[in-house]
Structure 1
């Protein structure tokens, strides 16, 4: 059983507590863009690793994640001590993550097998410590309040900071280049990554320690079920299975455009500066996040999420019919698609927290870590499927790098970028429509938790 530190049905979270909880999301996002987008090219073009070596190591570290994510979630659920269940992991993980960032972003001059070993070691270290921070950190959120709507406000702020971190990271190279140009210098790639290391690494430590200083954990210990039985019980939670199935299908659809936008803009629209369209998309998502809090209060989380997917589907169905010279129309459709973007981040997380409450009624235990661990696998699986399906099918259609594309490749781009995400959204809407926990049902769940 569990011992409470304070009541689960805390109705309101103060703005400073929401801010303290949201800041680590910004620092994790600001690290994510360099690692996923900039680092592979840095190590191939500047450091001298082969593309195949980096590809193999990146695939291997994803498999590593599939093991560590649920294990760390399980261990943090079972931990007990004066500092709480989550905080020791977040504290130690943030320090390890900062160290890994510095060593990975500032490699020494090595050659041959040594640089391969160096890159592999610090890449695995970075992803391990990332998991050590991220899973307990995300598990902390559902504990902070049991209020149906306050959770939406909390996760909306967290995911708003995540989007801000993504924008800051994406613009950082241009910022450094601009500053160096003013100084009459040109930043080398090694200098650019050194700047990122010594700015981004301290942020994750500072924001993580501020979060664990400010946020009070509610639960100090949990039950003693073993790893296999614990996850078997999670998979018997019908609302969770509906939620994660609908979310994963929707996420596969959203990851396809993220993977293919550069190709779509260049080869279908015959336009440039895809970064501008990404900026429109992310900024629109931030601006409309508060609106989705209001909408979810009026119609409920499930209906609000479905509405956001319908808006996204309507916008993207038009994208399928665009071609050369339609960049302006595309920008308008990207804006409308971005309206639902923030909802697709915040609302599933808020719904997931309600599902965890339902699990507590069933088991008498708080097991956020196990749910977040499985949720993390679903997110990474959907990203991997989006990349894999998109690039493999595009290659099968005859795509040629840096060349005029055949009609078959252009048509496949339209299908994968616009049509498949719409189909995924429709399937997700059908699945999510069966999700049973409404605001009234959640109120009953909270009453039953109060009697445990």
Structure 2
């Protein structure tokens, strides 16, 4: 059976749908890469306390995700279930993002409370958009493989938005350059991000409005607590949550420590850091192709296992060589050239794991619908998003604790920092991310044996999709 051309998602619609993830990418990159550095190295708060506050903010925010997913499932309007949420979230996202990066002067306790409040508000505002938006994906297409393509565009734009602001942070706003890490520069970074987030959210909502902002027939189902608990107990869902737990924790640690690893382990300057940020686009673009190819070649769960092993092995190789003393003395540009191939391949494999996992979640919602007859995409994706936020927060929290445990100083100078501290940073990062990467592959392997949803005869049409 083949899918009618009229039912396929047009490429332009895939692009506009994916463009909305720019907002999430900017938020995620800002939280993961710059926020700990800003409040630790610029504001002067202890890294361990900042990491703890960000973890608390994530846990508080994650409580809203199931509610948003449940309410968007129940929403009935002339614009359908999801689009009212996409429009209403735009202004809160832009405003709370600005305030997060503009803390007033005050005692440490006051600034920590300020961080807690606005970190929570930013993430809650993003939830109002991201949960309904990603829950829209299963409604856009029932096709097993086309879902990977649809969500691939979303991950492509999410990473692109984050990397653009990363490059701007390094090259334009000088956020990781000694002497230029000022509140004024971070405020400029926040304004640019706020404008881009607002444009992305509204453009995505408007771009998908004509095709998908439509009422659904029938009355909204009023799920009981028992039915919602049934979603949580659905075995394919639990297995996917387990794999995501390890994958996103690993990502959280890597992102939160990236400034420290680039600046103090590899001693890259501003120019090299900008080039590093732009070079990651190669990995992002490659992931869009690799995820689709691997899913068709091996099936989604088996592809995720292989990709998790690739990103772990390749990504850790330069740190192993560094700790063994096998990296020769090089200029910063030569060092960048040495680590870039490892980073590009590891990034492509890592993003492919995330795309594959999100596509598998769409299959979980379809499998549950076949069994129960209930459409609960919002509840399932809220649970997945809940896990992602909590575990990414755990990764950031672990990073703060690592820096505190090894005695990493505030406002440290790469030229004078104790080499023993740098070695401890590299070895601890290697041990943690290697462990989490192997656990990710193991958890996805459980999905192969534990009943991961496979395409039904109605879904096999994806084989010929572009």
TM-score normalised by structure 2 residue count: 0.78
The 3 A distance-change label for structure 1 pair 224 and 8 is farther
State the superposition RMSD in angstroms: 3.8
Superposition pairs of residues 206-285 of structure 1, within 5 angstroms: 206-216=202-212, 219=216, 221-226=219-224, 228-272=225-269, 273-274=272-273, 276-285=275-284
CA distance in 2 between counterparts of 1:292 and 1:166 reads: 20
CA distance in 2 between counterparts of 1:98 and 1:391 reads: 27
The 3 A distance-change label for structure 1 pair 8 and 310 is farther
The alpha-carbon deviation at position 25 of structure 1 amounts to: 0.6
CA distance in 1 between counterparts of 2:342 and 2:158 reads: 23
Cα deviations by residue, 1:127-181 (Å, 9 ceiling, x for unpaired):
3322111111111112211111101111111111111101221233466569xxx
The 3 A distance-change label for structure 1 pair 152 and 11 is farther
Question: Is 1:299 aligned to residue 298 of structure 2?
Answer: yes
- Matched with 2:15 is 19
CA distance in 2 between counterparts of 1:257 and 1:93 reads: 29
The alpha-carbon deviation at position 124 of structure 1 amounts to: 4.4
> Secondary structure of 2:320's partner?
coil
CA contact (8 A) 1:399 1:406 kept: no
Counterpart selection for 1:419 from 431, 438, 443? 431
The 3 A distance-change label for structure 1 pair 341 and 235 is same
Superposition pairs of residues 19-418 of structure 1, within 5 angstroms: 19-34=15-30, 37-38=33-34, 58-101=54-97, 123-173=119-169, 188-189=184-185, 192-193=188-189, 195-196=191-192, 199-200=195-196, 202-216=198-212, 219=216, 221-226=219-224, 228-272=225-269, 273-274=272-273, 276-323=275-322, 325=327, 327=335, 328-401=337-410, 402=412, 404-405=417-418, 407=420, 409-418=421-430
> Secondary structure of 1:441's partner?
coil
- Matched with 2:332 is none
Q: Which moved more, 1:89-98 or 1:395-404?
A: 395-404
CA contact (8 A) 1:86 1:140 kept: yes
Cα deviations by residue, 1:364-418 (Å, 9 ceiling, x for unpaired):
11111111111112112221222222332443344445253364x4454334323
Greater relative CO, 1 or 2 (CA 8 Å, sep 6+): 2
CA distance in 2 between counterparts of 1:119 and 1:393 reads: 20
CA contact (8 A) 1:360 1:366 kept: yes
The alpha-carbon deviation at position 241 of structure 1 amounts to: 0.8
CA distance in 1 between counterparts of 2:195 and 2:112 reads: 25
Q: Which moved more, 1:11-20 or 1:398-407?
A: 398-407
Q: Which moved more, 1:317-326 or 1:352-361?
A: 317-326
CA contact (8 A) 2:138 2:147 kept: yes
The alpha-carbon deviation at position 432 of structure 1 amounts to: 1.4
**Runs (5+) with no aligned partner, structure 1:** 1-6, 179-185, 448-452
The 3 A distance-change label for structure 1 pair 116 and 205 is same
CA distance in 1 between counterparts of 2:308 and 2:254 reads: 15
Q: Which moved more, 1:269-278 or 1:252-261?
A: 269-278
Q: Which moved more, 1:421-430 or 1:278-287?
A: 278-287
The alpha-carbon deviation at position 58 of structure 1 amounts to: 3.9
CA contact (8 A) 2:32 2:256 kept: no
> Secondary structure of 1:435's partner?
helix
The 3 A distance-change label for structure 1 pair 78 and 9 is farther
Q: Which moved more, 1:438-447 or 1:383-392?
A: 438-447
> Secondary structure of 1:321's partner?
helix
The 3 A distance-change label for structure 1 pair 384 and 11 is same
TM-score normalised by structure 1 residue count: 0.80
CA distance in 2 between counterparts of 1:224 and 1:95 reads: 30
CA distance in 1 between counterparts of 2:317 and 2:139 reads: 41
Cα deviations by residue, 1:67-110 (Å, 9 ceiling, x for unpaired):
11111111111222322111111111123323434565678x88
CA contact (8 A) 1:20 1:214 kept: no
CA contact (8 A) 2:33 2:258 kept: no
CA contact (8 A) 2:19 2:157 kept: yes
